[in-house]
Structure 1
Amino acid sequence: MPGLDLLSTFLEIFRRGSLSAAAEHLGLSQPAVSGQLARLEQEFGEQLFIRSRAGCTPTPRAVDLVARVGPHVDGLRQALHAESEDAAYRGTVHIAGAGELMTARVLPSLAPLTAHGLRLRVTLGLAEDLLSALVAEQLDLVVSSVRPARRGLAATPLVDEEFVLVGAPMLARGIDSAQLAADPVEALAHLPLIAYADELPIVRRYWRSEFGRRPPNTTAVIVPDLRAVLALVVAGSGVSVLPRFLADPALAAGSVEMLHHPAAAPLNTLYLATRAGALAQPPLALVHEHLRSRAGTWGAL
């Protein structure tokens, strides 16, 4: 009969879709996780996952095994680790991210943990600055809009955010619909932009993704807060590209309109970034797992 550790590792690989993600969650090296899986497959006498560059695809035998043992292993783990979970709730996690997303989704999602005694220290800022602070051990966890490429950091995909090009109704009425279909860059060129930073990071990415070139528009306002960008768009100061989760209330109220309807919504993946091996710390692992679970209910942002 396989031991609890082997079955626990099997479940993490099944649920996370790759050996590396399972290893990160378990606080183990990838070779150690691979070795445990090999032992389990040897005990069962058959392959449980098909490995590829995309991750681990479960075989029918693995799906059946999860259905039969998953609830029992989870119950045993919960009983065996009750004391460590209590210790996790008594810890402190320094978490950081963009102010808009943290306010709208991340911090409200963590309310059940703080209600049980977990303490949070929160820093708001730009992704690159926050990742530098993470490397310097000034932060524990960053909700990052860019995939970390720095040595010593590990990243877990969290959720995709969707972007929309919006403007006030009075500006939308000034767009020639026929020209928009034929030459969207020219049709939108007369509209002033409201941007998050001088480099027009979100706006430029949208134009390049959808129209194949940078926007030629003038920039009316630069303000490093997407909530302020939305307020200026609603007031008619210009147009901008915003995450859908932020723009949706204004779209529903009719105070802004979508100026362009792409065939496929432009997406950007958000990541949970930590220092490699840091998830062995119970408070951090608790927050990390809770956010991953809750993000599944958000849909595309």
Structure 2
Amino acid sequence: MDLALLRTFVTVHRAGSFTRAAALLGLSQPAVTSQIRTLERQLGRPLFLRQARGVTPTAMGEELAHKAAPHLDALVEIAEAGLDDEAAPRTLHLAGPPEFTAERALPALSGLTGDDGQGFDLRASFGSTEDVLEGLAAGRHDLAISTVRPRGALLTATPLCDEEHVLVAAPRWADVTGSARRQGRGAPVLEAVPVVEVHESLPFVSRYWGSVFDSRPAGSGTVVAPDLRAVLACAVAGAGLAVLPRYLCASALARGDVVALHEPAVPPLRTYFLVARAGTLALPHIARVHEWLLRAASDWC
């Protein structure tokens, strides 16, 4: 059996789509379709059910993928391990949310980059969860940091760390709301404080209000800036309250630039996942970065 046909089959199985598999393989969609049909003729059984949106494997397809994928991944690992040690450094493409990637992931990887015979070149891209996962699935990135665990066989996710969300504002807002909060009025008095957010839908504030107060925020964003670092800067300047990851505002809290307006017994958390395409962790440079980030994340929680 032709290994190239098996490689195409496994890629389609993981991608769930001839179109997406073609992009990952650098082939045209008709070429992928032709290879799958050739393999199906050789086996005498259909491997996929064609649907309006992608394909799903038949029982035969699932069985073949279960048997073939580990061996193909092992062959990739052997081939990569046999590369000339003097070859040019590999380039790793990492994508994730701008604040977390810039503040956490990139500094942690600085010790792995460089021309030391063991390092690699690093290219970072920032974007929304949807954008980075789509780019990873399409082969534009090698690893992605996501706040959503992706579904399907194409992408594999490992929990990286949890971030705690904190409701903060400049000290003057604490002075304004302190008395009422001490009287147990909680959310209602906070509704009077302007809100600084990353999006008009108030994703951070809404999540906090739902988790802590079991309600929805009544107002809208007074300042909306699509970067949590800008949100922090506006909160420090007194523009209003903000819900921020603790890692991002810890220094500002320690300096007294902002204060926590509310400290629930169980703070809201959000989980980050480290995501790769299935099979690519057999590549040494991707596996090394994956392991390094997981190790570094143990100090972030």
Per the normalisation by structure 1, the TM-score is: 0.69
The alignment partner of 1:173 has SS state of: helix
Inter-partner Cα distance in structure 2 for 1:168 and 1:84: 55
C-alpha distance 190-139 of structure 1, shift in aligned 2 (>3 A): same
After TM superposition, the structure 1 = structure 2 runs for residues 122-133 of structure 1, keeping only pairs within 5 Å, are 122-133=124-135
Match of 1:177 in 2: 179
1:105 is the counterpart of 2:104:
yes
Inter-partner Cα distance in structure 1 for 2:112 and 2:95: 16
Contact 1:88 1:286 in 2 (8 A): no
Inter-partner Cα distance in structure 2 for 1:165 and 1:211: 12
The alignment partner of 2:113 has SS state of: helix
Match of 2:38 in 1: none
1:31 positional shift: 11
Inter-partner Cα distance in structure 2 for 1:198 and 1:295: 30
Contact 2:200 2:220 in 1 (8 A): no
1:297 positional shift: 2.1
Match of 2:39 in 1: none
Inter-partner Cα distance in structure 1 for 2:175 and 2:67: 56
C-alpha distance 122-293 of structure 1, shift in aligned 2 (>3 A): same
Inter-partner Cα distance in structure 2 for 1:136 and 1:109: 26
1:145 is the counterpart of 2:144:
no
Contact 1:179 1:186 in 2 (8 A): no
Q: 1:252 aligns with which of 254, 275, 297?
A: 254
Match of 2:228 in 1: 226
Match of 1:92 in 2: 91
The alignment partner of 1:182 has SS state of: coil
May I ask how many residue pairs the two structures share in their alignment?
225
Inter-partner Cα distance in structure 2 for 1:278 and 1:30: 17
Contact 2:208 2:268 in 1 (8 A): yes
C-alpha distance 120-87 of structure 1, shift in aligned 2 (>3 A): farther
C-alpha distance 92-181 of structure 1, shift in aligned 2 (>3 A): farther
Contact 1:180 1:188 in 2 (8 A): no
Deviation digits for residues 192-216 of structure 1, max 9, x if unmatched?
Answer: 1100112111111111000001111
Q: Percent identity of the aligned residues?
A: 45
C-alpha distance 277-178 of structure 1, shift in aligned 2 (>3 A): same
Question: Which amino acid in structure 1 is aligned with residue 128 of structure 2?
Answer: L
1:30 positional shift: 10
Inter-partner Cα distance in structure 2 for 1:130 and 1:150: 16
1:267 is the counterpart of 2:266:
no
Match of 2:278 in 1: 276
Question: Which amino acid in structure 2 is aligned with residue 93 of structure 1?
Answer: L
Match of 2:167 in 1: 165
Deviation digits for residues 202-259 of structure 1, max 9, x if unmatched?
Answer: 1111110000011113311111100000000000011100000110111011110000
1:89 positional shift: 8.8
Question: Which amino acid in structure 2 is aligned with residue 261 of structure 1?
Answer: E
Match of 2:239 in 1: 237
After TM superposition, the structure 1 = structure 2 runs for residues 50-69 of structure 1, keeping only pairs within 5 Å, are none
Inter-partner Cα distance in structure 1 for 2:67 and 2:95: 27
1:148 positional shift: 1.6
Contact 1:88 1:283 in 2 (8 A): no
Structure whose CA Rg is larger: 2
Contact 1:206 1:266 in 2 (8 A): yes
Deviation digits for residues 126-159 of structure 1, max 9, x if unmatched?
Answer: 1111111111111111111222235511100011
Q: Where does structure 1 lack aligned partners over 5 or more consecutive residues? A: 1-27, 34-80
Q: Where does structure 2 lack aligned partners over 5 or more consecutive residues? A: 1-64, 71-79
Per the normalisation by structure 2, the TM-score is: 0.69
Contact 2:205 2:242 in 1 (8 A): yes
The alignment partner of 1:288 has SS state of: helix
Q: 1:188 aligns with which of 184, 187, 190?
A: 190
